[in-house]
């Protein structure tokens, strides 16, 4: 899949792949276990057109979906569209593998992605947001932007941020990451070492380090 394409184009390509896969689904053998933890969850998605109901002979009716089945997916997102164009979304999940808040977060991200795609159908899929405003603010560590004095040195600003959000992630490199508190500890350790070597204010210091955390 090419993330530079609009989401509609990716959805169409996925639909074609699914239609081809259905011809062979009877030959697929499911693994015995769904695994443990989010990293091993299998995600499923299904789409259906559902009659919205009507009136016949003075009787109003509507279609309700009820089923009992063996579920092969740890998480399944089902979307149904009625005759009136309304979308009904259901998220079924394995409560032993994912908490309720995690399932709710998935729905919020799906809604944010879908809303952005509808607002700009020509937007590239890899530019569409997955976080809503509240979740984005939480990920950044603060609901309000930080303010700094114009003449405040950069290292003082960092110290203030480390004191405010010591457990927030400050640096990532591959699978490794450092929080603001951990990075502050390392910076102070390096500063003490340089002072012990005779380095003082305004002195220039060259560093040769590996490009990793």
The more confidently predicted of residues 70 and 103 is 103
Q: How many domains does the chain have?
A: 2
Q: Report if residue 32 sits inside a domain.
A: yes
Evaluate whether residue 211 is within a structural domain: no
Residues facing 89 on adjacent strands: 79
Nearest to 179 by CA among 134, 145, 213, 136: 213
Same domain membership, residue 160 and residue 58: no
Which residue would you say has higher pLDDT here, 170 or 70?
170
The predicted-structure confidence for 98-140, as pLDDT tens digits, reads as follows 888 888 888 888 888 888 888 888 888 888 888 877 777 776 6
Q: Under a CB-based contact definition with an 8 Å cutoff, are residues 98 and 42 in contact?
A: no
Residue range of the domain that includes 169: 148-196
Strands (E), the chain: 43-49, 54-56, 59-61, 75-81, 87-93, 169-173, 176-179
212 domain-assigned: no
Percent of the chain with pLDDT over 70: 78
The answer on 63 and 125 residing in a single domain is: yes
Q: Give pTM, 2 decimals.
A: 0.50
Beta strand extents in 9-86 (DSSP E only): 43-49, 54-56, 59-61, 75-81
């Amino acid at each position: 899949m090419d993330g530079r394409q609009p989401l509609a184009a990716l959805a169409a390509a996925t639909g074609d792949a699914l239609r081809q896969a259905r011809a062979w689904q009877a030959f697929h053998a499911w693994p015995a276990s769904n695994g443990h933890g989010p990293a091993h969850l299998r995600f499923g998605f299904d789409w259906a057109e559902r009659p919205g109901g009507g009136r016949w002979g003075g009787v109003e009716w509507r279609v309700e979906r009820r089923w009992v089945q063996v579920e092969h997916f740890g998480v399944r997102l089902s979307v149904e569209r009625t005759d009136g164009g309304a979308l009904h979304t259901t998220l079924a999940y394995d409560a032993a593998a994912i908490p309720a808040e995690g399932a709710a977060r998935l729905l919020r991200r799906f809604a944010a992605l879908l809303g952005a795609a509808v607002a700009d159908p020509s937007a590239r899929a890899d530019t569409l947001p997955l976080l809503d405003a509240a979740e984005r603010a939480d990920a950044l560590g603060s609901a309000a932007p930080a303010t700094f004095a114009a003449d405040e040195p950069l290292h003082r600003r960092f110290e203030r941020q480390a004191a405010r959000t010591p457990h927030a992630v400050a640096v990532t490199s591959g699978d490794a990451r450092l929080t603001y508190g951990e990075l502050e500890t390392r910076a102070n350790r390096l500063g003490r070492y340089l002072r012990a070597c005779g380095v003082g204010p305004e002195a220039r210091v060259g560093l040769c380090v590996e490009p990793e955390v």
